[in-house]
Structure 1
Amino acid sequence: MADAKLILLLKTSITLGVLLILLGIYCHNFSASVEAMGVNGIIISAMCIAFGMVLSLPTKMYLTFILVRRESEQQKQQD
């Protein structure tokens, strides 16, 4: 897979992860219907946050690795 496509996929994954985290926070703090569900509502909001973290955190590390490698290659070409 080309670097550009991989970077786009990783950025999309980060965005989806952050949106899931925000959805979980919204459901946990501001949604009356989730509060009315009781324990099931807490589980739903916690799962949104957990899946958001799974999508966003490892992807950020890998994306940072790719960008640092690309930057070092560009500096080698300039020297």
Structure 2
Amino acid sequence: MKINPFQPVQQNPYRKQIDKAEMVADLKAKSDKLEISTEALEMQKGTRIENERQEKVEALKQQIEAGEYKVNPQAVANKFYDFWNE
């Protein structure tokens, strides 16, 4: 049995670096494309209900930022009570 402390020529670390660089270049060259149809774009715009909900959320955000939003503690307590006693 012969023990050789040197690595074979096929395992050149410099070659591994070159291979990694080539793989990265290949990954950059390949890219995915996404095309959305006009019907899908219309669906993304949302329904009337979603648009109204978004308007309500924006109005609440503005009230909170302006410090005008008041929480009704009795209504909050009733909702907690109803939730825990179902």
Indicate whether the TM-score tops 0.5. Answer: no
Greater CA radius of gyration, 1 or 2?
2
Structure number with greater CO (CA < 8 Å, separation at least 6) is 1
